[in-house]
Structure 1
């Protein structure tokens, strides 16, 4: 299995500003300290070896969209944030190379940052495409259609040419979707969000769990999440805020912290954790610092096998 990240921000898309890019270039030039490079490849090798990720790159600004390559013929996608546009363009190229034109899309919930990419999803205009939108919300179709009403968008849902259907899932029930076992779980978030666990025919599993609030003073109630994460090869988890934020100013905002994500994954004996759904006001340096702090926290609290802690960015690929 492979997880490919097309959008990793929460709440709304953000762009790297001109002064932030200039700061990165200036810091890289300071590190270079006057050395010369024969070509771009040599300069890139220097950046990769000697400049931090936040100093040479960006975590990106598109909202939630993660593709899973499961071994099935169909595409599998979690959420339709603004990252869905780039995924759709890339998928069309692959379909031109012979990939089947079926898309299984799983919605965590219906807030705008998780569905806003659909009006710009090019495969929806392909008459040969089949799009199946899986959700635990019975009102999913209403939400998707509503954002393409004339008052909001110039292209009506009924003008789309793909075969589009909605499948309502029941939390806790295992579904066979094109040979992949999929189970959903309810999470604490406004209008309820749902996490998904995907297991392929070889027993490898990926958990997608975003927009879920876990309270540090109610961890006994988190046993169900530990069971849901149990033994996963990869957990993609909402870590939008710091622990301080989740227990103070942003309590009951429906999101969680990096610290709680580590605790849950340790208890579940998961193998890898991906920090996801980044706060849109965080700079690349802020996200990188949280990543370093999370790695250190994992080391200090580890009692069993090591938990590999990664940080999502637009374009990241992780194979399990």
Structure 2
């Protein structure tokens, strides 16, 4: 399985403003220290090889959308955030490679940032495409129809050309999807969200976003340790700092990178992918949290195996 991250922010899409872009350019010029570059390729090598990621790149601004690419067969996707538009264009381009116009989508929940990309999803307008949406919420179809009502969007859901089906999943009842075993777990979030455990090709992937882990809920912690158990990669909600998650933003339905790492360690997971970044956080702030989480992993490792800590960004690709 190869993961492609098309959207990694939470709550709403964001973009870098003029001041943020100017700041990145200024930091690059200072770091270059008068150096001259023969061409753009040489300058790009400096940017990608010598600058901090927050100065030479960035974490992006699209909301949740992650592709699971097995190379052949149906397209697999987690969530329908604003990153879906970019994925749709990429998928259409890959039709020429012989990929079927078949999409299997795992929908964590129905909040706007996780469904807002669907009206802009090119394959949804293709009469030859088939889209199956798997969700823990029986109201998934209602939510997608509602956001395309005339008061909100000019094209109604009924005008979409693709064949669109909905399958409601139940915790504790795994199902087979294209040779993958898929299980769901109910998560602590307003109107509930659902995490996915996807097993196949000798690998295990966890997709668990928009999930709060209350510090006094030991039974819930045990459930998630079992659900994450032995996973190769865990994509996890790390929206807030630990301090905010347990004080100012308690009961807001999100978690921290330190809590996510503790769960991964207890579950014997091999890699944590930090995800669903706070929209108000700058690239530099996210990068700092990433460094602190790596250090926390090192300090708490003891004699146990290391856990790789990756910070997701729009455009990141990883093998599970």
Deviation at 1:71, TM superposition (A): 5.0
Unaligned 5+ residue runs, structure 2? none
Residue number in structure 2 paired with 1:266:
265
Alignment partners' CA distance in 2, 1:216 and 1:57: 35
| 1:98 Cα deviation after fit | 1.6
Number of residue equivalences: 319
Matched residue, 2:279 = 280
Q: Tell me what 2:89 maps to.
A: 89
How do 1:1-320 and structure 2 match up within 5 A? 1-70=1-70, 73-200=73-200, 202-303=201-302, 304-320=304-320
Structure 2 CA distance for aligned equivalents of residues 301 and 70 of structure 1: 34
Deviation at 1:278, TM superposition (A): 0.2
**Stretch deviating more after TM superposition (93-102 or 222-231):** 93-102
State the alpha-carbon separation in 2 of the partners of residues 152 and 126 from structure 1: 22
CA contact (8 A) 2:212 2:251 kept: yes
The more displaced of 148-157 and 63-72 is 63-72
| TM-score normalised per structure 1 | 0.98
Q: TM-score, normalised by structure 2?
A: 0.98
Q: Distance in 1 between matches of 2:283 and 2:218?
A: 30
Distance in 1 of aligned mates of 2:132 and 2:210: 22
CA–CA distance in 2 between the matches of 1:220 and 1:55? 42
- Report the secondary structure of 1:216's partner residue: coil
What 5-or-longer segments of structure 1 have no aligned partner?
A: none
Q: Partners in 2 of 1:34 and 1:79 — Cα distance?
A: 45
Task: Tell me by how many angstroms 1:215 deviates.
Answer: 1.8
Runs of 4 or more off by more than 6 Å in structure 1? Answer: none
1:103-154 Cα shifts (integer Å, max 9, x gaps): 0011100000000000000000111100001111111110010000111100
Following superposition, the deviation at residue 58 of structure 1 comes to 1.1
- The Cα shift of 1:72 comes to 5.1
Question: Which whole-Å deviations, capped at 9, do the CAs of 1:273-308 have from their partners, x for residues lacking one?
Answer: 000000000000000000000000111111310000
RMSD: 1.0
1:216–1:260 Cα contact (<8 Å) kept:
no
Question: For residues 172-223 of structure 1, what are the alpha-carbon distances to aligned partners after superposition, in whole Å with 9 as ceiling and x for unaligned?
Answer: 21111111111111000011100001111x3201100000001223345311
How far 1:248 moved relative to its partner?
1.1
2:213 touches 2:220 (CA, 8 Å); kept in 1? no
3-state SS, counterpart of residue 285 of structure 1: helix
8 Å contact 1:237–1:273 — kept in the other structure? yes
